[in-house]
Every structure is written in structure tokens, then in C-alpha cells.
């Protein structure tokens, strides 16, 4: 996961204050990039850009509700039974903690989404990892088991004017 140079980070011990963040994220020739743009102890926002594929293996998060909002392209989100939700530009999908899903870039070109997560970040649930595959074992998003390809940036950016 990459972190934007302009990411807004607020820790629990910080005095609350409003902060600006940028959605500038590199377009990809291959693979995907997930970039943290803002976080507090209970909320985190990432940009995700996929040249192809997506989060290709069914998994669930035990400690996080989250949503994907499509800014560019199109995605399909599948549950563990293969049921599909098609999500087009300017639409979103809500995924509650414990719900199995996977997603794919199903549009032309790069898929650009905002991923917003909320919950109790970093807390383990009954001693287990918090991102589990269909077999109940931990499934890291950046691994070959999750069909992750090495990222290759195109040299162009989504929201380049955002700085």
C-alpha cells in the first residue's frame, strides 16, 4: 500500500482539526495500487486504481464496515455465491463487516475507486486476523494468492490537478 505525500493522518492523541487531502493517484499499466489519503483512529480513506482484475479472491473483514465509490470505470462486486452487483461511475456499494465479497474491474481502462472504511482499526477479533479468505484463513490483499500482479504505473495520474 502506498501513502500519498498529502495524506491527512490524525491519531487518537492529536487535537481534532480539519485537514485537506488529495485524490491524486497514478494510473496503472498493470496491477493495482491502493493509496491511503486520510485516516483517523476509526475512519480511513484510500484511493484504489486497478488496470485489470481487482480483489480477486473472496474475503471478508471482521473489524470493518466499508464502501467503494466508483469515480472512473466500472466494477462488479460478487458475494460468496457468485451473485453480482454492477457498480458504475458515481455509484457505490456498501460492504458490512463479516460479508464475503470480491470485486473486478469490468469497464474500459483503469478502475478508480474511493474506499472508505470504518470500525476498530487494528484490533484483532478473538485472536484471528481481520481479513479472511473463504477457507477462514488470513488472506493478504497484496499476495499472489489474491491474484495480485506487480504494479506498473503508466506515468499519468488520476486527479493530477489535486496536487
Exposed e or buried b for every residue in 91-104, given b needs 16+ CB within 10 A? eebebebeebbbbb
Residue 61 to residue 64: CA distance in whole angstroms: 6
157 in a domain, yes or no?
Answer: no
The residue range of the domain holding 115 is: 2-9+20-150
Sequence-distant (6+) residues with CB within 8 A of 105 are: 50, 51, 52, 53, 54, 73, 74, 75, 111
156 in a domain, yes or no?
Answer: no
Residue at grid coordinates 462488479: 76
Residue 31 to residue 154: CA distance in whole angstroms: 11
CATH number at residue 117: 2.60.120.10
Torsion, CA 84, CA 85, CA 88, CA 93, rounded to 10: -140
71 in a domain, yes or no?
Answer: yes
Residue 59 to residue 141: CA distance in whole angstroms: 9
**Domains held by the chain: number:** 1
Whole-prediction pTM: 0.85
15 in a domain, yes or no?
Answer: no
161 in a domain, yes or no?
Answer: no
97 in a domain, yes or no?
Answer: yes
159 in a domain, yes or no?
Answer: no
Residue 147 to residue 57: CA distance in whole angstroms: 7
128 in a domain, yes or no?
Answer: yes
10-residue averages of pLDDT along the chain (163 residues): 63 82 95 92 93 86 94 97 97 96 95 92 54 83 77 93 87
Amino acid at each position: 500500500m502506498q501513502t500519498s505525500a498529502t495524506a491527512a493522518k490524525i491519531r487518537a492523541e492529536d487535537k481534532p482539526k480539519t485537514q485537506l487531502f488529495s485524490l491524486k493517484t497514478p494510473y496503472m499499466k498493470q496491477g493495482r495500487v491502493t493509496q491511503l489519503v486520510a485516516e483517523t483512529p476509526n475512519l480511513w480513506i484510500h484511493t484504489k486504481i486497478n488496470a485489470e482484475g481487482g480483489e480477486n479472491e473472496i474475503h471478508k473483514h471482521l473489524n470493518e464496515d466499508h464502501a467503494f465509490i466508483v469515480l472512473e470505470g466500472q466494477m462488479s462486486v460478487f458475494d460468496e455465491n457468485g451473485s453480482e452487483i454492477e457498480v458504475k461511475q458515481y455509484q457505490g456499494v456498501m460492504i458490512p463487516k463479516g460479508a464475503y465479497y470480491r470485486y473486478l474491474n469490468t469497464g474500459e481502462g483503469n478502475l478508480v475507486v474511493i474506499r472508505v472504511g470504518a470500525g476498530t482499526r487494528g484490533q484483532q477479533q478473538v485472536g484471528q486476523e481481520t481479513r479472511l479468505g473463504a477457507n477462514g484463513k488470513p488472506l493478504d490483499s497484496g499476495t499472489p494468492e489474491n491474484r495480485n500482479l506487480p504494479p506498473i504505473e503508466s506515468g499519468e495520474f488520476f486527479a493530477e490537478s489535486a496536487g
